[in-house]
Amino acid sequence: MSCPVIHSVAELNPAVLPLDWLIGTWESDELGEGSFPSIAPFRYAETLHFSHVGQPVINFMFNAFHAESKKPLHRECGFIRIQPGTNNVAFIIAQNSGLVEIEEGELIGQQLTLNSRALARTSFAKEPYVQQISRFIQLRPDGRLEQTMSMALENKPLTQHLHITYRRAS
DSSP string covering 63-118, please?
A: EEEETTT--EEEEEEEEEEE-TTSSEEEEEEEETTSEEEEEEEEEETTEEEEEEEE
In a domain, 161, yes or no: yes
Q: Which helix (H) or strand (E) holds 163?
A: strand 156-168
The vertex-64 CA angle with 103 and 158, nearest 5°, equals 40
Q: Is 33 contained in some domain?
A: yes
- Which pLDDT belongs to residue 96? 95
Type of residue numbered 129: Y
In a domain, 67, yes or no: yes
Domain-located, residue 75: yes
pTM over 0.75: yes
Q: Would you tell me how many other CB atoms lie within 10 Å of the CB of residue 162?
A: 20
Please check whether residue 160 lies inside any domain of the structure: yes
- Res 1: pLDDT: 42
Low-confidence ranges of the chain (pLDDT < 50): 1
Asked if residue 162 belongs to a domain, the reply is yes
Cα–Cα separations (whole angstroms), residue 137 to 4, 40, 107, 151: 22, 24, 10, 15
pLDDT at residue 170, rounded to an integer: 80
Residue 8, domain member (yes or no)? no
- The CATH number linked to 135 is 2.40.128.20
> What domain range includes position 89?
14-168
Predicted local distance difference test score (pLDDT) of residue 2: 53
Main-chain dihedrals φ then ψ at residue 18, nearest 5 degrees = -65, -10
Indicate whether 2 belongs to any domain. no
How many structural domains compose the chain?
A: 1
Q: Report strand pairing: 32-36 vs 156-168.
A: antiparallel
